[in-house]
Amino acid sequence: MPKSPPPASLLLLLTILFSNGVLAATMYLPSLPTIGEELTAPVDALPLTLTVYFITFAGGQLIYGPLSDRYGRRPLLLGGLVIMVAGSAACALVDSLAALLWARAAQGLGAAGAMATGRAHINHAYERSQAARATSVISASLALAPILAPMLGGLVEHFLGWRANFWISGGITLAVLLILAWRLPETHRPDPDAGALLPGILRAYGFLLGSRSFLTFGLLNLAIFAGLHGFSAGAPSVLIGAMNLDAVSYGVLTALGSAGFFLGAVGSSWLGGRLGIRRMIDGGVICMLVGALGLAFYVEVFGPSITAIIVLRMVWAVGMGLALPNSVVAAVGVNPATIGAGAALSGFLQTIGGVMGSAVNTLFPAGDPLSLGLAFGSTALLGAVIWWMNRDVVAPSAKAGAAAD
């Protein structure tokens, strides 16, 4: 068995692994107009290149997770990276929109394997009291990826052309694949008497969906991602359309949200081991409530303000950084026998939360600052209700991942 890398090396590799999924998903977006021209594709069809990626990314996790419980983390992780490399290369070589959509679907399917098995690997490679800290460090780094991806993609588009975005993403994936193939050991020994495949998968998901602990953390994660993507979907029409903020300033100011998440994740890394999972999530939920409901309150009482919207969004993001690393690790680690399935279902719920958050905005008038606050606040309120009704699933001093029904 390959020699296990030291914790710092492992953490660096996993951070690159997860960040590359964000780069692969969004780095090419500044090139969409050029892609449309070269492939003679209608403008309104180009967003499908992102949609198909997330569909296979979400659905693929449900497959990889339980398979990794049965056959081990290493082959599923490496196999997913192989598919991602192939999908990235195919994206760079396409000559039609249909071919690009198929290639993006393959790319998302490969990234799903890296995400699901990577999360499971964290729960095996670290003690449970350290897993949330490792997740916090990765989350802090991931907060920078949405900022860097479009900037990097724009530079690549300008100097090298749109196809280079996919070659770069595929090259990073290939480098990580080769290093992990050399250095990453198997961390999970499958049960040779696990029985038939499909019944085993159904049992694993049945257990998780019947687990109060998993549903508490999984649905909390869903609510957090609903808020994250709901704000992202509704803010442009408010800040740019209604409040006349230019696109460059919008990009800079909304990046402060990622800065807030970075600060929260760093705080979670430093304090989680001392305060325990319950207190960290308590603090995160309170920050998210203050930020999201405070936005609706401020707009209603004092009127729209760009500064208030950005600052209160940043307060919410600090709360996300405090709560999310702990809730992810706790959801994945509910049962040692279903860590892969737990990672998969948790990731799937996060993706569903993103879809729900975007959909919530359609219930309110577009471009209205109060509507943005109400939609944003509803997601924070949902997360708070889920947590405060079920926070007893964790002992007051419990470390991350130690929750039990």
Q: Residue 88: what pLDDT?
A: 94
The segment with the largest mean pLDDT, out of 151-165, 196-210, 245-259, is: 151-165
Out of 37-51, 195-209, 341-355, pick the least confident: 195-209
pLDDT at 289 over 70: yes
The residues spanned by each domain of the chain are 7-194, 205-393
Mean pLDDT of 364-393: 89
Burial class, 17, CB count within 10 angstroms (exposed 0-12 / middle 13-18 / buried 19+): buried
pLDDT at 90 over 90: yes
- pLDDT digit string (tens) for 297-325? 999 999 989 999 989 999 999 999 899 88
State the Cα–Cα distance between residues 115 and 108, nearest whole angstrom: 10
Q: Residue 2: what pLDDT?
A: 42
pLDDT at 4 over 50: no
Q: Residue 405: what pLDDT?
A: 47
Question: How far, CA to CA in Å, does 49 sit from each of 19, 39, 42, 109?
Answer: 19, 13, 12, 13
- pLDDT digit string (tens) for 239-260? 877 888 775 676 677 767 677 8
Q: Which residue has the higher pLDDT, 145 or 14?
A: 14
Q: Residue 341: what pLDDT?
A: 78
Mean pLDDT of 93-99: 92
Residue 404: which pLDDT band, with cuts at 50, 70 and 90?
A: very low
Q: Residue 249: what pLDDT?
A: 73
pLDDT at 157 over 60: yes
Q: Residue 400: what pLDDT?
A: 47
State the Cα–Cα distance between residues 125 and 11, nearest whole angstrom: 10
Q: Which residue has the higher pLDDT, 96 or 402?
A: 96
The DSSP-derived string for 284-317 is HHHHHHHHHHHHHHHHHHH---HHHHHHHHHHHH
Question: How far, CA to CA in Å, does 24 sit from each of 84, 239, 390, 404?
Answer: 9, 27, 36, 36
Q: Residue 132: what pLDDT?
A: 62
Mean pLDDT of 338-348: 79
Q: Residue 402: what pLDDT?
A: 45
pLDDT at 208 over 60: yes
pLDDT at 226 over 80: yes
304 — phi, psi (to 5°)? -65, 140
Mean pLDDT of 381-395: 89
% residues pLDDT > 90 (the chain): 25
Mean pLDDT of 95-106: 92
- Domains 7-194 and 205-393 belong to one CATH topology: yes
Residue 197: which pLDDT band, with cuts at 50, 70 and 90?
A: low
Helix axes 369-390, 339-360, angle to 10 degrees: 150
Residue 5: which pLDDT band, with cuts at 50, 70 and 90?
A: very low
pLDDT at 83 over 90: yes
Residue 397: which pLDDT band, with cuts at 50, 70 and 90?
A: low
The answer to whether 378 and 364 are in contact (CB under 8 A) is no
Out of 134-138, 264-268, 361-365, pick the least confident: 134-138
Q: Which residue has the higher pLDDT, 120 or 281?
A: 281
What predicted TM-score, i.e. pTM, was given to this entire model?
A: 0.74
CATH class for domain 7-194?
mainly alpha
CATH class for domain 205-393?
mainly alpha
Mean pLDDT of 170-193: 76
Mean pLDDT of 95-115: 90
Q: Residue 6: what pLDDT?
A: 45
Average pLDDT taken over every residue of the chain: 80
